[in-house]
């Protein structure tokens, strides 16, 4: 996909952060946008930042973990835009750092439902329509936590490893078609994912965000630029950020001692 002009891009989680950054870059490149989020005011702000008030952008309040809503979303996008060329499964949530024993089943399931089933629902709803296009792309946002099991992030890592597995399976199954599948493994990106963690009280959010931001080295705009460039080159995987590349390299160089290394680094950094 050499350019995005007139292409229809579906982006989940487009009300803030990386989803918003990708929406703005795609808009600048001439794409038509179908943006979804549970945060409708956030979607309105994304559209406001484009300066676009015409039918080139549609906004949809959708819970990606609800399959019926996602299927309806796909039909609504077709009604509004006529076709679909790019699916970006970006919506995701996290908990604040906590050990496995301290995480309730309820919170664990919420993370899995959004981060894993949300991606599954996106692929299930939109893949049949992508198959009808001359060329199409699926972008699934995994994480560094989809390459290595990060200390204190068991539900997040579980969901992001599964996104990686689904993406790599789709890559092999779609060989010979005109659909490319990119799985993205970002390290720390400057978003509000921890500030919005579902297990935090309101008075905890700002401190948690500040602690996370110390390790989030990559801007959302730079991450979006690299992701969309990878789509154009039809890459199947991209690791974003020096932190992600270093941690992944340590895993490969020291497979036996890697868990102890991760414990030494993250147990102190995450649990002050």
- Domains, the chain, ordered by start: 8-270 (3.40.50.720)
Quote the pLDDT of residue 209. 46
What is the Cα–Cα distance from 153 to 5, expressed in whole angstroms?
Answer: 38
pTM for the structure as a whole: 0.92
- Mean pLDDT of the residues in the chain: 91
- Catalytic one of 120, 151, 153, 156: 156
pLDDT digits (tens, 9 = 90+) for 189-221: 877 566 577 766 666 555 544 555 556 578 999
Q: Is 259 or 272 the better-scoring residue by pLDDT?
A: 259
pLDDT in tens, 8-49: 999 999 999 999 999 999 999 999 999 999 999 999 999 999
Q: Residue 11: helix, strand or coil by DSSP?
A: strand
- Picking from 39, 131, 148, the residue whose alpha carbon sits closest to that of residue 91 is 39
Of 30-39, 178-187, 189-198, 261-270, the range with the lowest mean pLDDT is 189-198
The answer to whether 27 is a known catalytic residue is: no
Quote the CA–CA distance of 265 and 247 in Å, as a whole number: 10
Q: Which residues face 185 on adjacent strands?
A: 239
> With 0-12 CB in 10 A as exposed, 13-18 as middle and 19+ as buried, what is 53?
exposed
Dump pLDDT digits (tens) for 131-166: 999 999 999 999 999 999 999 999 999 999 999 999
Nearest to 167 by CA among 191, 200, 143, 149: 143
- Cross-strand bridge partners of residue 183: 140, 237
């Amino acid at each position: 996909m050499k350019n995005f002009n007139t292409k229809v891009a579906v982006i989940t989680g487009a009300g803030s952060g990386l989803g918003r950054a990708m929406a703005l870059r795609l808009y600048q490149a001439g794409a038509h946008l179908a943006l979804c989020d549970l945060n409708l005011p956030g979607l309105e702000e994304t559209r406001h930042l484009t300066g676009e008030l015409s039918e080139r952008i549609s906004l949809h309040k959708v819970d990606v973990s609800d399959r019926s809503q996602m299927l309806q979303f796909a039909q609504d996008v077709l009604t509004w835009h006529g076709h679909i060329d790019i699916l970006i499964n970006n919506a995701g949530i996290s908990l604040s750092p906590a050990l496995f024993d301290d995480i309730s089943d309820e919170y664990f399931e919420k993370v899995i439902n959004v981060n894993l089933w949300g991606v599954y629902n996106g692929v299930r709803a939109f893949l049949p329509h992508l198959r009808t296009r001359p060329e199409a792309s699926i972008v699934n946002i995994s994480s560094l936590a989809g390459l290595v099991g990060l200390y204190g992030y068991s539900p997040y890592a579980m969901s992001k490893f599964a996104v990686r597995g689904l993406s790599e399976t789709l890559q092999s199954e779609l060989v010979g078609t005109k659909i490319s599948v990119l799985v993205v493994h970002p390290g720390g990106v400057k978003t509000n994912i921890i500030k919005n963690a579902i297990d935090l009280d309101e008075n905890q959010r700002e401190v948690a965000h500040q602690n996370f931001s110390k390790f989030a080295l990559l801007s959302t705009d730079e991450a979006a630029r690299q992701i969309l460039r990878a789509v154009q080159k039809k890459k199947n995987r991209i690791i974003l950020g020096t932190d992600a590349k270093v941690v992944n390299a340590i895993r490969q160089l020291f497979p036996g001692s890697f868990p102890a290394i991760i414990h030494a680094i993250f147990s102190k950094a995450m649990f002050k």
